[in-house]
Structure 1
């Protein structure tokens, strides 16, 4: 379905295992927005990628874009509240994130959205997760990446004073890396997965969100 995965030597034979979330490093973005990053939180991530690529009922969507309908440049999956996730380690990841961020978030992560970026042509445009409560409340979105790295870029939302005009930060995420966007990040910053040129392998992201955030 996707391109060929160039696996990590560390992940090739390792059983899926989560690391210690106390190792996350926080970067303050300004105006109450922050990101926590933990490279390699999930070992055995290549095995998780292979199972997700095969077993998730991926959906190809089309959306209205101005005067025409276009293909969404990625495949999508979604698991609602209390749904059993397709790989048990993802249920463990959701529970671990809920426990670690309980004091700050005040509620558990409930849902899991999945995006399958098959090659460098797949992408997602600049946006914030502002459907629902994220439009007016501080919240968190935790993203676990498996497969080959792709850049997640963040920039201040136009019309805000979150950071210098034109300032963009970039995180290459794959092979079990974790990023958590928190505070006002969904309202005051935007994020994107830009298209990439050259030989770019497939990546799957799993986005854990609390209730009422999309």
Structure 2
């Protein structure tokens, strides 16, 4: 299942390890929304990518789209509460994030959703994680990316004021990068992984969420 990964020289000889979450850099998006970004939080990320690509029981899904059923343009796997994660480093990541954000979030991260973007044709459309509590409460979604960088784009929801950062913002994420979307971000902003042209290597994202947020 492993795709054609262009490995990072920084990761070639490093065992997987996580840095301090306190090094995150926060950007205020306005209207109570914010994002934290930490580049290469996970070292040895290419090894993690290879293990996940090979060992996770990836699923291809189909969904109703208007009057037809279409393939979901990425592979998926979801780990619910109390399910064993595929690698111990992911348990460690979830625990570190829970400890760091305990004061703001008030609860731990409990689930992990994995998405496998095999090439530039795989994508996810504009959306917010508003199924469940995220539709009416402030919450957080923390995303760890391994594999080749792909752009995560964010924009204000239609009709919302743009806030201090303007309109659409884009973050290329891969090779162990972390992004955390917090506050009102899921309600007042949307995010997407757009399709990309040219030779685009594979990327896996691991999304940690608290209970009742999808």
Classify the secondary structure of the residue corresponding to 1:86: coil
Can you list the C-alpha shifts for 1:132-158, whole angstroms capped at 9, x where unaligned? 000000000000000000000000001
Partner of residue 156, structure 1: 156
Q: Post-superposition shift, 1:12? A: 1.1
TM norm structure 1: 0.98
Partner of residue 111, structure 2: 111
Partner of residue 141, structure 1: 141
Q: Separation in 2 of the partners of 1:163 and 1:71?
A: 35
Classify the secondary structure of the residue corresponding to 2:60: coil
Gaps of at least 5 residues in structure 2 are none
Partner of residue 11, structure 1: 11
Q: Post-superposition shift, 1:2? A: 4.8
Q: Post-superposition shift, 1:163? A: 3.6
CA contact (8 A) 2:2 2:54 kept: no
Q: Separation in 2 of the partners of 1:70 and 1:134?
A: 26
Q: Separation in 2 of the partners of 1:49 and 1:83?
A: 20
Can you list the C-alpha shifts for 1:89-124, whole angstroms capped at 9, x where unaligned? 000000000000000000000000000000000000
Partner of residue 125, structure 2: 125
Classify the secondary structure of the residue corresponding to 1:49: helix
Q: Separation in 2 of the partners of 1:3 and 1:112?
A: 21
Gaps of at least 5 residues in structure 1 are none
Q: Post-superposition shift, 1:161? A: 2.0
Partner of residue 64, structure 2: 64
Partner of residue 73, structure 2: 73
Partner of residue 43, structure 1: 43
Q: Separation in 2 of the partners of 1:93 and 1:22?
A: 13
| Aligned residues: CA RMSD | 1.3
Q: Separation in 1 of the partners of 2:40 and 2:3?
A: 22
CA contact (8 A) 1:162 1:188 kept: no
CA contact (8 A) 2:3 2:53 kept: no
Can you list the C-alpha shifts for 1:29-61, whole angstroms capped at 9, x where unaligned? 000000000000000000000000011100000
Q: Post-superposition shift, 1:3? A: 2.9
CA contact (8 A) 2:124 2:194 kept: yes
Aligned residue pairs: how many? Answer: 214
Classify the secondary structure of the residue corresponding to 1:61: strand
